[in-house]
A and B are shown apart, each in its own frame.
Chain A
Amino acid sequence: MSAIAATGRPSFLEEGFSLSSWLFTRDHKRIAILYAITITAFFFVGGAAAAMMRLNLMNPQGTLVTADTYNKLFTVHGVVMVWFFLIPSIPATLGNFLIPLMIGAREVAFPRLNILSWYIYLLGGVFVIYTLIAGGVDTGWTFYTPFSTLFSNTHVVEAVMGVFIVGFSSILTGLNFIVTVHRMRAPGMTWFRMPLFVWANYATAIIMVLATPVLAMTLVLLSLERILHVGIFDPALGGDPLLFQHLFWFYSHPAVYIMVLPAMGVVSEIITCFARKRIFGYRFMCYAILGIAGFGFLVWGHHMFVSGQSMYAGMVFSMLSFMVAVPSAIKVFNWTATLYKGSIVFTAPMLYALGFVGLFTIGGMTGLYLAAVALDVHLTDTYFVIAHFHYIMVGGSVMAYLGGIHYWWPKITGRMYNEAWGRMAAIVIFVGFNLTFFPQYILGYLGMPRRYHEYPPEFQVLNLFSSAGAAVLAVGYLLPLVYLGWSLFKGPRAGPNPWDARGLEWKTSSPPPKDNFTAVPAVDPVPYAYNPEVPPA
């Protein structure tokens, strides 16, 4: 892995091989890898829970596991996938690694806060693992009161404490990104020369920093109520369970934009590189990113249309939810237009990125159905909602994450992965994903509620399709572990810019040296200065 030939300096991977040089690192690139390892572990924990759920749902009586076990499975699936995989995934791995490189900086603004954030993440993870071993929690990842405060007999407080703690990891990451982007750009790197990946993570950081503390306080209130039997969510004591829902969703709706905005940033980088063309409508893309982040704070009530909130609140949240779809639509059109007159190759990252655009389009459009309040009354709390958010978070964010991992794999590791395996895995995942989740739209419209461990027999055929798809998806997700792992030892070494891509991260060696650059890099006057008429170097 020697990068000495390229820069005359050892790569960041070669600066110390001891365990403590990793565990006490302040190098944003090493911290990114630490995060990558731990979020992958949690991904498979959450994935195992999903596998059990889909196995159980193969027959209508759902007899593989008991009802209580099933309820614990979907809770752990949600808690782990949302807070321990999706929210940190792109920002804490790819974001941490790439943002300083992309803006021409040596480090993030607060390197010690960065490594601290990883330890906080681990501490939160310890609480969740403890919860699992001690018997689980069965409230759903949404922890609705009064079930979570007064009725559940499971380890609610431990699980909630785990989420509370990991929230601070999010906050510190966000804080670091905001200050880094404001204060550490190389000379000449103006806002409108920054890659869209940086814009996306910047907007995500703002959401992380403003929304997560509200969740923190809400979880404190919930825990105290459960422990002390006094609180503002219990109607018998004069409180209101809807207050919990408002506070919870005020965070959790912006949280979904934390999960999707970075993915959109990755997709922009990949499409522009493999179409060899400037992203279409760069400025609108920047404004769309900011628009999604801003409007995302105003729509939380669309999770509560049938909760007992007033009809007028419902109408207001419905309209705002339609508004937030506009910037997302703009982005889809821009990505499509970027392909026009491009020079397109179908590498593994490009397959993931194109898959994202297609699946995000479907997922986003089904969001419109849910925003239409009259339809949401029928569709909410059914499998339609499950299909909708999995299209965005799995068909969207996870595909983008995998695409980004492949795209920047040579930069991070200095090795190339096997392209044929990469493409195959992308296709297997795409097929498996659609087979798993498209039937769920139909199930939802037909009235199958969510969080059901058993179901009416007339729904079995669609459930079988879905479970079969899950098996294919599982295979698809295991493949990259194999060939990416293989490439670390046997893959051909990569040069500084194997894709002939634009962007400052490609102007240093693969892997980069510890300080990223040998000299302050020269910034391109125009971002994404690709020319589709000129083949790659």
Chain B
Amino acid sequence: MSTTTPEIRPAEWREQTASLGMWVFLATEVMFFGGIFMGYLYLRAHYSAEVAQASRHTHEWLGTINTAILLTSSFSMALAVRFSQLAKRETVQRLLWVTAALGSAFLAVKFAEYTMEWHEGLVPGLHFTIQENARVTALFFFLYFLATGVHAVHLTIGVLAVLWMSWRLRRPPFPDWRADEIDVLGLYWHFVDAIWIFLYPLFYLVSLSS
């Protein structure tokens, strides 16, 4: 790693510094979600059959659609990063709009899903009416809402950041440091996607394997 100080300000220093900052932040996020994963591991290890049964209440098709949406948004984000390296401002702006739109679509689907789950009485502590396998189902859905809810908060922040970045690109110029910022934003976006890649099988696909 270069030890050139910011006084000299090569673009490379700036980009690497911002990038390091984001990686360290993502490490904290991994540890943050880790707590939920530990809770999930405990539940699954002690009540594997009941967890599988509880998982049948999730809406796999909505979860799968959401997975496709989020993965596609990561693709558009990766393209945005690539085109920002080529300083193609308008293309980047459009790709960021697409990314934000896909992220919002994910959130809309999630909202619809939560509404369905409310009507089905699957919200522990607030509106829970399941009788069969009630205890483990309540714990499972407690972790489900916590995990996907915290994920949705992170995704919302990401969507807002992408929209803001896109708005700032509405006029030229397209300086170097903008590309650094988009790169770092891309890291965050991919992280949010990666968390979902873990949540999806753990919550949606359990029932299908048992």
Contacts and interface: CB of A to CB of B under 8 A. Distances in A.
Nearest to A237: B135
A520 B21 contact: no
B162 interface: no
A216 B3 contact: no
B135 A209 contact: no
Given A105-B5, A217-B36, A237-B135, A232 B28 contact: no
A183 B146 contact: no
Contacts of A106: 5-7
Contacts of B16: 183
A441 B9 CA distance: 56
Interface string B1-22: 1011111000001001100110
A231 B35 CA distance: 13
B179 to A, nearest CB: 18
A109 interface: yes
A104 B36 CA distance: 41
Interface in A187-224: 187, 189-190, 209-214, 216-218, 220-221, 224
B37 to A, nearest CB: 9
Contacts of A227: 125
Contacts of B5: 104-106, 184-187, 520
Contact of B28 (A105, A171, A184, A237): A171
Interface in B98-153: 124-126, 128, 135-136, 138-139, 142-143, 146
A87 B124 CA distance: 36
Contact of A228 (B29, B126, B135): B126
A238 interface: yes
Interface stretch (B39-47, B75-83, B193-201): B39-47
Contacts of A105: 5-6
B139 A239 contact: yes
Residue of A104, A105, A179, A220 with most chain B CB atoms under a 10 A cut-off = A179
A333 to B, nearest CB: 32
Contact of B146 (A187, A213, A221, A520): A221
B61 interface: no
B43 A213 contact: no
Contacts of B138: 230, 237
Given A232-B139, A238-B136, A247 B38 contact: yes
A231 B142 contact: yes
Contacts of A246: 38
B32 A216 contact: yes
A426 to B, nearest CB: 37
A216 B31 CA distance: 9
Contact of A213 (B35, B135, B143): B35
A182 to B, nearest CB: 6
B65 interface: no
A217 B33 CA distance: 7
A175 B28 contact: yes
Interface bin, chain A: 35 or more
Contacts of B27: 209-210
B48 to A, nearest CB: 13
A217 B32 contact: yes
Contacts of B47: 238
A431 to B, nearest CB: 42
Given A221-B146, A232-B42, A243-B42, A213 B136 contact: no
Q: Is the interface of A mostly helix, strand, loop or mixed?
A: helix
B20 A179 contact: yes
Contact of B21 (A109, A211, A213, A228): A109
A380 B87 CA distance: 63
A229 interface: yes
B167 interface: no
Given A209-B24, A228-B124, A520-B5, A247 B35 contact: yes
Nearest to A107: B6
B25 interface: yes
Contacts of B34: 213-214, 217
Contact of B1 (A104, A109, A182, A211): A182
Contact of B35 (A110, A217, A237, A238): A217
Contact of A224 (B29, B43, B142): B142
B143 A230 contact: no
Nearest to B38: A247
A213 B32 contact: yes
A337 B128 CA distance: 66
A175 B25 contact: yes
A209 B27 CA distance: 8
Given A189-B3, A232-B143, A109 B17 contact: yes
B139 A230 contact: yes
A218 B42 contact: no
A232 B142 contact: yes
B146 A220 contact: yes
Nearest to A113: B21
A212 to B, nearest CB: 7
Interface string A83-106: 000000000000000000000111
A171 B29 CA distance: 11
Contacts of A210: 27-28, 31
Residue of B1, B20, B24, B29 with most chain A CB atoms under a 10 A cut-off = B24
25 contacts: A104-B5, A106-B7, A107-B6, A175-B28, A183-B16, A183-B17, A186-B5, A187-B5, A210-B27, A213-B35, A214-B35, A217-B33, A217-B35, A218-B35, A220-B35, A221-B39, A224-B125, A227-B125, A228-B125, A228-B142, A229-B125, A232-B39, A232-B143, A238-B135, A240-B46
Interface of B: 1, 3-7, 13, 16-17, 20-21, 24-25, 27-29, 31-36, 38-39, 42-43, 46-47, 124-126, 128, 135-136, 138-139, 142-143, 146
Closest 10 A/B residue pairs (Cβ): A228-B125, A217-B35, A213-B32, A213-B31, A230-B124, A183-B17, A230-B125, A238-B135, A213-B28, A179-B21
Given A211-B31, A228-B142, A238-B47, 15 more contacts: A106-B5, A175-B21, A179-B24, A209-B27, A212-B31, A214-B32, A220-B146, A228-B125, A229-B125, A232-B43, A238-B136, A240-B42, A246-B38, A247-B38, A520-B5
